Chain A
């Protein structure tokens, strides 16, 4: 089962739209209030990164079903400048110390699986999954 929908991120208000989409899907899948809040926080963070650093991009939400377990997949894709020093942004304290929010380590913590592909000058593709337990 794979059911997808997406939101283009162009303005700050699109971040809200992406959150709304994510929350609807999470709710529909049966995630509780706390997990819903975690999923939408992750979406917020990823959408904000697109808005702030890439200018534009897309948040895609997919419903997953693997071995009878339901899950939600967030894809954040942009054609922005990419992340030159990926190890640094994945380090604790790098983004949070400047008050920028949870940062990518935060997204990783909020979700169960986290994958990032970034090519300088071409863009970034982040995939984060949370399974319903």
Chain B
């Protein structure tokens, strides 16, 4: 094979030496691509070049041949760098496959069942910025018409955030089937997070519990992006703020809870900061911009609104998500 390459190279070189045309160079470049695909190292190319020159121009002075030997020596480390690059690319591919698997495991692990309640229309979307999601949505529902929802966000993203989120999930699992108050839920998860997660990791979480019978939403927040209340009657937006420390900061933290009465077509919009901290070249995307999007689609089903907001924000940011994106809408119908 080496012999074949030597002959081809000599032929192409000879053509170039006679005419020095652009076409000869083009042929040479194509040939170099073939050399790379056959893992021919730069030092070998020089050696092939020298051999070809020796055949075509036997009578060149000795110094020319010496110079090629010197060039071979110079190229050895370039050849090694090339091989190293190839092996690192392979390693990168292995890591990519591993991350895909991990993302699948996470998806299964964090699966949650969307509650179906009369008079409540739910829309939700959670899109990770990288492979693994550091945002989390969890529903707790029961036969008495309660639909609890946790929206959590680990400070940070990617693999560490995803691992951290499994702890929140196990904490929530221990609460399942009990329609607990937001302040209790946040208190329990706070202690789980505080005990089991690295000191540098913090989690913010919103917990809301909707009661289908009274159409009331009771909510609490652990340092989370405030939920937004949309009043259909007056067509305005307001924040649902509740005081509370981030999860994992102090085991003694306590969490406020408040209740709002929902009327027909009112919406509670819950999100992570990936929604509100989207950036364009002009700076942060104003909340009012998002409110306007929701208002435009207010008569659509909740899932349509959520998808519309996501699509619009993604377009504004040229399809680059800088943070995990999670948006949930509870719409009283």
Contacts and interface: CB of A to CB of B under 8 A. Distances in A.
A36 to B, nearest CB: 9
Given A33-B69, A38-B76, A92-B91, A105 B84 contact: yes
Interface string B43-66: 110010010000000000000000
A93 B88 contact: yes
Contacts of B83: 109
A101 interface: yes
A90 to B, nearest CB: 12
A32 B77 contact: no
B88 A101 contact: no
B87 interface: yes
Contacts of B72: 33-34, 37
B149 to A, nearest CB: 45
B73 interface: yes
Nearest to A102: B80
B41 to A, nearest CB: 8
Contacts of A118: none
A67 to B, nearest CB: 23
Interface string B64-92: 00000100110011001101100110010
A27 B76 CA distance: 17
Nearest to A93: B88
B87 A92 contact: yes
Contacts of B43: 34, 37-38
B47 A32 contact: yes
Nearest to B70: A37
Contacts, number: 41
Nearest to A96: B84
A92 B47 CA distance: 27
**Main secondary structure on A side of the interface with B:** helix
B44 A34 contact: yes
Interface string A25-59: 00000001110011011000000000000000000
A105 B87 CA distance: 11
Contacts of B77: 41, 101-102, 106
Interface string A102-128: 100110011000000000000000000
A101 B84 CA distance: 12
Interface in B179-198: none
Nearest to B81: A96
A106 B41 CA distance: 14
Nearest to B46: A34
A41 B75 CA distance: 11
Contacts of B80: 41, 102, 106, 109-110
Contacts of A106: 77, 80, 84
Nearest to A106: B80
Contacts of B76: 37-38, 41, 110
Contacts of B69: 33, 37
Given A33-B69, A34-B43, A92-B84, 4 more contacts: A41-B80, A96-B81, A105-B84, A109-B80
13 contacts: A33-B50, A33-B69, A34-B43, A34-B72, A37-B76, A38-B76, A41-B77, A92-B87, A92-B91, A102-B80, A106-B77, A106-B80, A110-B80
